[in-house]
Amino acid sequence: MTIAKPNSLKEAELSKEAYKARPQIEPQIQDLVKSVEILGYRTIASCRGHCDGVRVPHPWLRTREYWPQLKETVSEYNSSAVVQWTLDDNTLQPTAHARTEEGLRMLQIEADKLAQFLFSRASDKDYETYVKERVVELW
């Protein structure tokens, strides 16, 4: 039985492994985590970003290992994006940093745009593999 990729990222379930590793994945970063995982790249950490002067002032996620193909896809996205993203040392993050909560919210919206772009690059086969191997069972 073939499992077709849903029409929207919101319809996709979060992977079992990502959920077990980080049961409190913040809603502001969940779509980016899902889109990266659907493409087959395993994530190990993520954060929505904070403007408290202590923690990182932008959303980010970390993959288990370095993926040149993901870097190429992000570069393709950057060619027409307002906010640029980098993938260095297994960490995907914007080049911009927020100084205010409003600025942070803007970066979170940009993370959602990147997530949608990445999801649009996923094939039905990518999604089927993701579901069969990694998706959280419905509770």
The pLDDT value recorded for residue 15 is: 66
The answer as to whether 84 is a domain residue is: yes
Could you read off the pLDDT of 33-42 as tens digits, one per residue? Answer: 999 999 999 8
pLDDT of 137 = 45
In a domain, 5, yes or no: no
User: Is 50 exceeded by the pLDDT of residue 44?
Assistant: yes
User: Is 137 a member of any domain?
Assistant: no
Residue 139, in any domain of the structure: no
Angstrom distance (rounded) from CA 72 to CA 41: 13
Tell me the percentage of the chain whose pLDDT exceeds 70.
89
Can you tell me whether residue 19 is helix, strand or coil? helix
Condensed to tens digits (0 to 9), the pLDDT of residues 124-136 reads 999 988 888 776 5
Instruction: Give the total number of structural domains in the chain.
Output: 1
Q: Is residue 134 part of a domain?
A: no
Domain assignment of residue 95, yes or no: yes
Residue 87 falls inside a structural domain? yes
pLDDT at 81: 96
3-state secondary structure of 135: strand
Alpha-helix runs per DSSP H in the chain: 16-21, 27-38, 68-78, 101-121, 124-134
Asked whether the predicted pLDDT for residue 139 surpasses 50, the reply is no
Q: Report which of 5, 23, 16, 13 is spatially closest to residue 42, judged by C-alpha positions.
A: 16
pLDDT value for 132: 81
Q: Which domain holds residue 33?
A: 14-129
Which is nearest to 31 in space by CA: 133, 116, 107?
116
Average pLDDT over residues 77-87: 96
47 vs 10 pLDDT, higher one: 47
**Considering only CA atoms, which of 127, 135, 133 is closest in space to residue 16?**
135
Q: Write down the pLDDT at residue 24.
A: 78
